[in-house]
Amino acid sequence: MPRGTVPDRYRDILEGTALGHLATIDPDGRPQVNPVWFISDGERVLLSVKPETNKYRNMRGNPSVAMSCSDPGRPDRYLEVRGTVVEFELFDNLSWVNHLARKYTGADFAHGADGEHRYKVTIRVASWTGQG
């Protein structure tokens, strides 16, 4: 598995609106996969998570994660990144989730309110693999 920054040939998948499928490990060592909105620069993956979710608890307990994305126009073309959660930044407003919502919907997030706690999660990409 190649190490380091994701190459430019996969940049369109990272910058497009493909959902990421984030894999975390629960306390019993079982994998859990959830679709997520994300932003990535090839070195880091940034996403939003609520503190009451299993996904959040899993990342707090084991910071090793993987995420895959398929090219919406060519499902046989994909990218997988593996890495480590390096930061949880608490937000008590929707500014971060709105940033993600604008990427995916073109509008602010419609299902939340300021005062909700959410974390901006930063994942450092350690390795990647892709096809196509």
pLDDT (0 to 100) of residue 42 = 86
- Rounded CA gap, 132 and 110, in Å? 35
Q: What is the mean pLDDT of each run of 10 residues along the chain (132 residues)?
A: 91 95 97 97 94 97 98 95 97 91 90 80 97 93
Predicted pLDDT at 113:
65
Question: For the chain, what is the domain count?
Answer: 1
Place of tokens 């997030």: 109
Does residue 3 sit within a domain? no
* In a domain? residue 94: yes
**Which domain CATH number covers 112?**
2.30.110.10
131: in domain:
no
Range of the domain at 83: 8-126
Hey, what are 78's tokens? 């994909």
pLDDT of residue 114: 64
